[in-house]
Amino acid sequence: MTVEAHLESGAYLLASDDERATLRAHADACPDCARLVEEEAELTTLLALAEPPVYATNTWARLEQSTASDLMRFVARCSEVFDLSLAKAAALLRQIADPSAWIPAHEGIDILHVEGGPRVANALTGIVRFQPGAPFPEHKHLGPEIVVVMQGEMRVGDKSFFAGDELPMEPGTVHQPIGGPEGALILSVSMDGFSLGDELIGPDDPRA
């Protein structure tokens, strides 16, 4: 393996042991890549120490009991969506298991607020947890939105989205997402906010 340019996010995390040695040697001579290798090396250690998940038989119970090891496969996408380093994205996923991190948003829906990076400074950013069948009120997006389903099922209209599915939406989209029969856990970035009827919910809204 040869390294001729700066490393991309995830390069060290996804590399083999032999490839990591090459990447470390490159980072020793490249200050721009040294921080990335250091962060991903730390994350690799955390993943190795993570305990295997013990799943509840019911998906909603699993959502409430989610651990970092359940969700760490989403760390790279979480990093991209929220404009965070991999280390910060991993720390964020670990918060999901902390009951005190969640705030009730609507009946049957909780949110874990996320402070993203500069690219999403003008967005509503959060991890949202739906109880089975819980609807988020119908709303209209002022800017584009991206949703990543991490667990369970989210329904929008006559379509269902499952773990690993992504739902990009254009400005002006009107929809009412609903938790599936066993709930849902999603990442959400809504640029510029959204409107609930005549009420605007923007990035600086304390309720968002």
Strand 194-196 versus strand 199-201 pairing type: antiparallel
Q: What's the 3-state SS for 156-202? A: ECCEEEECCCEEEECCCCEECCEEEEEEEEEEEEEECCEEECCEEEC
Measured from the Cβ of residue 35, the count of other Cβ atoms closer than 10 Å reads 12
Q: Per-residue pLDDT for the chain (208 aa), expressed as one digit of tens each? A: 455 566 665 676 667 777 778 877 877 888 877 777 777 777 666 555 444 444 444 554 555 555 556 788 899 899 999 999 988 998 899 899 889 999 999 999 999 999 999 999 999 999 999 999 999 999 999 999 999 999 999 999 999 999 999 999 999 999 999 999 989 999 999 999 898 888 888 787 766 5
Q: What's the pTM?
A: 0.71
